[in-house]
Each structure stands twice: as structure tokens, then as C-alpha cells.
Structure 1
Amino acid sequence: MTTFAKLASVALISGLAMLSGAAGASADQPAAYHVKPLKGITFAVGSKRAVGYYTSDDHACRLTLLLSDAYSGDEKSFSEPVRVNLTIAEGASGSVDALDGSAVFRCAKGAGSLSMQLVQKIAYNASAK
């Protein structure tokens, strides 16, 4: 893939993310994204990449995600992609955790929308005295 093609695909994906209703974030609060049923989502959870969608069924959000290692050129992935299915009741939340990050999902009342917030995990090291 040429450099121009890579840049064009990044610009396209960024534009689609903005069209999907992504909310802005301040420095102290991570971005929250709002998704409607059967609309695709794509994001990074730590070093993993995820693609998925959700359906509204029986007052619950049924989330389907495909998780894989980040694409790194010609190198083979260390692990196989995995599918994750979550059922989140309306008004409740669920999460997908990686070693260095999490994605927290919250199902709105009536399961009409699903919000997602990415949380970066940072290790804390107390300095010795």
C-alpha cells in the first residue's frame, strides 16, 4: 500500500468517526462516542483493534466485537482475532479490558443508543523515599 493510500484511508476513517456522532473531550475526560443500532464502530483498546456493532433486543444492547492485534505491515499477528458478544441491559454498563486500556459501554434507556468511552490505563509507580 502506498503512502498516499495509507494517508487517504486514515483521513477517510477519521471523517467517518466524526460523522458517527463522536463527542468532543476535554483534557481531563476521555471522548465518549454514541452509536445507534446496526451502525459500525471501530476503535483501539490498548494494543488491540476492535470492530463491531450492536442490536437492540428486549430492552438490552447486544454488542458484537471482533478484537485483533494491530496491523503491522508484513509481520504475522501473534494471536488470532476473537469475537466477543456482550448483552448489556438498558441503563447498565459493560467493559472490554486489555492490558493497557479499556472500553466502557453503556446502554441507554430503551436500548436506543450505546455510548462508548475509551479509558487508558497508566501504571503508577510510587517513588521510594
Structure 2
Amino acid sequence: MTTGNRIVAAAFGGALCLAASSGLSAADSTSTMKPLMAASFDAGSKHVVSYFVGGENGCRLTMMVIDSALEEDPTPATQATRLVVTVTDGKSAFFDSAVGTSLRFNCAAGAQTMRVDKINRVAHAPAE
């Protein structure tokens, strides 16, 4: 394992521990995060651990994404992916999974909180 992979694994593990102690669960459809407070979500076949830091330009959101563990194999086969994006005050960023689950991260005015909404999207065709 390279040094970079070790750092990513350590960061993901630390964030996962913080998320476990934060009291949030994947079953919550809406959560409110404070700066440096980790939140954990299941989004389809992916597991997401996220936190943010407030700044002058908005909320600097960091997400670690990994395949969800299966009952028969509790160790995911893939490496974690880290995404960093700045969400402007009062604006939202959407992250969609391949199976129709979306996470909406909304940065509140002043970048003091972020609201996270878990949205299940379903395809709909109008009746003919």
C-alpha cells in the first residue's frame, strides 16, 4: 500500500469514526451538519462520509465515497474516492448515484450549517 493510499484510508477511517459518534444514521432523510461535524449516508451502492468547513466563499464540502459493504463480504473491494467542492452560501450541490439516490448539500447563509437531503429519484413516464 502506497503512502497516498494509507493517508486516504486513515482519513476515511477517521471520518467514519466521527460519523458513527455524531448520532446521524443513513435512515435520516434530512440532516443538518455544523463545521467539521461528519455525517454518514448510504446512497445506493455507495457509502458517503462528509464534512465541511465554512469560509468567505461558502461551504467547502469534503466527501469520501466507497462501495457499501455487503453482508457476505464486509470489506469493500474498492478504494475510497475523495471529492472536494465549494458550495456558495444559499446554494445547493447535488450528487447522484447510479441507482437513483441523490444527496443535496445546501450551504446556509454565513456558511455556518449545511443541510443534507437524501432524495430517492424514480423515473416517471407520463400516461399516454
With the length of structure 2 as denominator, give the TM-score of the two structures.
0.70
Identity of aligned residues (%): 27
**Is there any run of 5+ residues in structure 2 with no aligned partner, and where?**
1-19
- The gaps in structure 1 that reach 5 residues or longer are 1-12, 19-23, 25-30
| Pair member with larger Rg | 1
* TM-score (structure 1 length as normaliser): 0.70
Instruction: Identify the residue that residue 104 of structure 1 maps to in structure 2.
Output: 104
Q: How many angstroms does 1:123 deviate by?
A: 2.9
Shift of the 37–76 alpha-carbon distance from structure 1 to 2, 3 Å rule, reads closer
* Counterparts of 1:93 and 1:78, CA distance in 2: 31
Does the 8 Å CA contact 2:47/2:65 hold for their aligned counterparts? yes
Give the equivalent residue in structure 2 for 1:10: none
Distance 1:66 1:112 in 2: 21
Local SS of the residue matching 1:110 = helix
Equivalent residues of 2:89, 2:111 under 8 A apart: yes
Please list the CA deviations of residues 12-59 of structure 1 after superposition, one character each: whole Å capped at 9, or x if unmatched: x598117xxxxx8xxxxxx32111000011001122100121000114
1:70-109 to 2 correspondences below 5 Å: 70-72=68-70, 73-74=72-73, 77=76, 79-100=78-99, 101-109=101-109
Q: In the alignment, which residue of structure 2 is the partner of 1:40?
A: 38
| Structure 1 contact 46–120 (Cα < 8 Å) conserved | no
State the superposition RMSD in angstroms: 2.6
Separation of aligned partners in 1, 2:106 and 2:56: 16
CA distance in 1, matches of 2:74, 2:42: 19
Q: 2:24 — aligned with what?
A: 17
- Distance between the aligned counterparts of 2:45 and 2:73, measured in 1? 17
CA shift in 2, pair 1:122/1:113, >3 Å = same
